[in-house]
Every structure is written in structure tokens, then in C-alpha cells.
Amino acid sequence: MKVAKFGGSSVANAEQIRKVAAIIQADEDRKIVVVSAPGKRNKEDVKTTDLLIELAQYCMDGNEAKQEQWLEKVVDRYAQMVSDLGLDEATTIEIRTDLVNRIQAPYKNSHQLVDSLKASGEDNNAKLIAAYFHSIGMNASYVNPKDAGLLVSDEPGNAQVLPIAYERLHQLKEQEGIIVFPGFFGFSENGTLVTFPRGGSDITGAILAAAVNADLYENFTDVDSVYAANPTIVEDPFEIKKMTYREMRELSYAGFSVFHDEALIPAFRNGIPVCVKNTNNPKSEGTLIVAEREVFDNPVIGIAADEGFATIYVRKYLMNREVGFGRRLLEILEDSSISFEHIPTGIDDTSVIIRESQLTEDVEKQIIDRIKIELQVDDVHIERGFAMVMLVGEGMHNSIGVISRASGALSRRNVNIEMINQGSSETSLVFGIHQEDAKTAVQELYQEFFSTRVLA
């Protein structure tokens, strides 16, 4: 049994939905289909989810004119598909009714309204797709996450699956025909709809794959594979045919955006292989993500870069003699809910590298003041505009020379290395550099590690 998840662009219009149907029909093991809300049909288009978020905002503002207008925009997205797919107009009416009901329902707080409207994108799309499958003679039916038992924690926009959900969902294995399941949301134990964090439909798919112990979790998107580097930075990069969960996770972390790595955790935890495939080119092999792989010649499998990092630099004479200094510094950051990425340390100074987005003006002032007063430091200041460039590969540990080659490559292009972090993870090496050097760095590192070698 396979679980196939289709992203927003794969279910954005009638043409795409026909491709989805063909893909499902092509392999009878594809029993569970998880769908996103209709995504962009072209570069200028707006995702249905974004329309729904705006709609929710107008509802909260009490702006009835805009509310009416945006409701129509959303309904239009589905109406167009209903018409193009030759479905009965009743489907559109049902969707409109559903949206009106969601707007008018009583909620305990505005989060519930937002979550309910956001989730309607996937929910109504699943109903529509199930109706289409049915109309072309497939034995398929929509399944509601509530009925199926997808129980989650009651954190609006940040739901975490509850262990009991897996037991309940396991029964889907026995259901006859194809299941069309909306991504992105579950229900709390008191029956409230709650959405998942970023990567929501991927999460739903991974949970279902784990619950039914699928042989494969197929993640259909709009690229042929995961690439060894960002194709907008490196021309025609290698396709990665097979990689490990760890490699995927390290690369995702550094800005590889095929999907959000944490979304796949339920699949990883249960040892279910994940395959990234292209809805628009299903013949292409895709990228298989597995627990273990053989390591060939090249120690590096991928190179990624992410921007928007800042450094909190702290200097205090004799810092290294002060037991507890590091802990107290982290405590101050923790009190402002700042999580850190790396902590390079000197004798008398230490830097904490964090994501810049966490630093509002208030937070910055607060932590600087506290560090000055409570830690009695000689200097504390914040620098922004750093990028982290990451080399990832299972073959990197014990590969004498990777650091030398990588730093040599950066040196050739005059990219100064502000920070290196190596030593804990066995599958990655991180360089901190100035943001403006990020593109050059990725290009030269790609050149160094991929120009003369065939990727594993």
C-alpha cells in the first residue's frame, strides 16, 4: 500500500487533477490520496489558502463587503474546476454552503475561525477530487479526518498529532477503494478543528503512511527530484536519486525548500521510505529518501544556503573561568524565546548565532540590556546579515580533506569564513559567511564537489 500526497500546484486546476487521477490509476497500490488546497495556477496567481486567510481577517474585522467579495473569490476557484471537470454544480453549492457555515459557526476564539477557514481549502478540495474520481468510474471516497480519528493537540496553527491517532487511523488500511483525505488539519479531543504548522499536508500524509504502515510515501510536487544545489543558483544541478533521512533533514534545515523536513518525521520514525515525485512528469524516478544508503565516491550529496542569521557577540575577560556563564547567557535568550543555531566559543568571548527574524527591536534591547547588567560583560553587540552554507553527506565523517577542499573553494572566491561549525553532526559542515557571498559560495562549492564527479 502506498500513500500519495499531492501539493498545491498538483491540484490547482482541472488539468492537474486529471493528472492526479491518472497517477492513481497507474498503480493500484496507491490507496490513500492526501490533497492540498488548490495552489497557484501561474506565477501571478494567489493560493486558495491565502485567499482564505484574508477572508478570515475580513470576518474578524466585520468587513462584510470584503468578506462577501473574498468568499466569491474562493468559491470561484472551485466553481471553475467543477465546470472544467464536468462535475455536477451541486458540488459548488455544497462548497459555498460549507464556507458560509464555517463563517457563521460559533467559535470560542478567533484562532478557531482562522483554523476552520484555512482548513476548508484542503477539505473542500478533497471532496471535489473525490467527486471527480467517482465521476470517471474510480472507486474512491472522501474521508473526513474527524471520522478517521486524526486526533491532535489543541494548538491552533501548530497541532501535534496524538499517539492514539495512529491506532485509529490504522483502520483506514481495511477500507475498500481509494481514500481521498484532506491534508493540513486534524481535530482535538474536544472536537475542535486544528491546523498543522508549516508543511501541513505533508504532515497529514506522513501520519497516514505511518498509521497504515505504508510501503512507500509518495510526495508529489512540481519538480523531478531533489537537487544537489538550488537550481536557481547552480545551473542544471545533479538530481539526487537516493538520500537518507538525515541528509534530507540537514538540507531542509539549510533552506532546501522541496518540503519541510519535520513534516516527514512520522514516516521517518516508522522507517517508511519517502519518494519525491513530479505530478507533471510521473515517469521520472524522483528522489527516494531512506534510512540508510551506500556511500560512493563523493562525500557530499548536497549544498544548501540559508540567509537571515545574526550573531550575538559577547566578550568578557576571563569568561572561560566563570562556570555557568554559558548557561546564564542561554537562559537570557530563552526567556525571550530565542532559540540558537550555533555557539562558537573563544577564551574570553562567545557568539550565539540565531535566526535574525527572532530579533524584534524590543527583544534586541531587552537581551542586550540583560546581558550587560546580569553578566557584567565587557562588550555585547549584534551583527546581522549572515548566511549559513551547509555541505551535507553521509560520507563526510572521517573524510579527511572535505574541510580543506571546501575552505579552499571559498578562499578561491575571496569568501571570508566568519564561522565554521563542525564536530557534532557527522553528516554536515556549516560555514557562516556574509549574506552577499552566499550565491558565490554555493556555486564554487558545487564546482569543487560536483564538477568532476558523478553523484551517488
Q: Annotated binding residue at 8?
A: yes
Cell of 3: 500513500
Determine whether 18 is exposed, middle or buried from the number of CB atoms within 10 Å of its CB (0-12, 13-18, 19+). middle
How far apart (Å, rounded) are the C-alpha atoms in residues 176 and 121? Answer: 26
Q: Are 180 and 142 in contact (CB under 8 A)?
A: yes
DSSP state of 384: E
* Residue from 115, 122, 202, 250 binding its own copies (CB under 8 A): 250
Determine whether 343 is exposed, middle or buried from the number of CB atoms within 10 Å of its CB (0-12, 13-18, 19+). middle
Cβ distance to its own copies smaller for residue 108 or 321: 321
**164-185 burial, b for 16+ CB within 10 Å, e for fewer?**
ebbeebeebeeeeebbbbbbbb
Least distance (Å) between residue 303 CB and its own copies: 16
* Residue from 134, 313, 383, 440 binding its own copies (CB under 8 A): 313
Q: Mark residues 387-426: x for contact with its own copies by CB under 8 A, - for none.
A: -----------x-xx-xx--xx-xx--xxxxxxxxxxxx-
Q: Annotated binding residue at 47?
A: no
Least distance (Å) between residue 361 CB and its own copies: 21
**Number of CB atoms found within 10 A of residue 308's CB:** 16
Q: Mark residues 132-171: x for contact with its own copies by CB under 8 A, - for none.
A: ----------------------------------------
The end-to-end CA distance of the chain, in Å, is 28
Least distance (Å) between residue 322 CB and its own copies: 8
Q: Are 437 and 445 in contact (CB under 8 A)?
A: no
Q: Annotated binding residue at 448?
A: no
Q: Annotated binding residue at 7?
A: yes
Give the binding-site size for its own copies (rule: CB under 8 A).
Answer: 57
Interface with its own copies includes 366 (CB under 8 A)?
no
Least distance (Å) between residue 277 CB and its own copies: 25
Amino acid at 55: L
Q: Please give the C-alpha separations between residue 192 and each of 39, 139, 153, 331, 395, in angstroms, as whole numbers.
A: 25, 30, 10, 35, 46
Q: Annotated binding residue at 431?
A: no
Size (the chain), residues? 456
Helix pair angle (110-135, 90-104), 10° resolution: 170
Cβ distance to its own copies smaller for residue 160 or 284: 160
Q: Are 18 and 234 in contact (CB under 8 A)?
A: no
Task: Give the torsion sign (CA, 95, 96, 101, 103).
Answer: positive
Interface with its own copies includes 428 (CB under 8 A)?
yes
Least distance (Å) between residue 34 CB and its own copies: 22
* Residue from 317, 365, 369, 384 binding its own copies (CB under 8 A): 317
Cβ distance to its own copies smaller for residue 257 or 339: 339
DSSP state of 173: G
Cell of 192: 475542535
Q: Mark residues 325-354: x for contact with its own copies by CB under 8 A, - for none.
A: -xx--xx--x--xxxxxxxxxxxxxxx-x-
Q: Are 219 and 202 in contact (CB under 8 A)?
A: yes
Q: Annotated binding residue at 242?
A: no
Interface with its own copies includes 265 (CB under 8 A)?
yes
Least distance (Å) between residue 319 CB and its own copies: 10
Least distance (Å) between residue 212 CB and its own copies: 22
Residue 343 backbone phi and psi in degrees, to 5: -135, 75
Least distance (Å) between residue 364 CB and its own copies: 18
Least distance (Å) between residue 207 CB and its own copies: 16
Question: What SS3 state is found at 122?
Answer: helix
Q: Annotated binding residue at 450?
A: no
Annotated binding site for ATP: 5-8, 221-222, 227
Annotated binding site for substrate: 49, 122
Annotated binding site: 5-8, 49, 122, 221-222, 227
Residues that bind its own copies (CB under 8 A): 249-250, 253, 262, 265, 269, 313, 317-318, 320-321, 323-324, 326-327, 330-331, 334, 337-351, 353, 398, 400-401, 403-404, 407-408, 410-411, 414-425, 428, 432
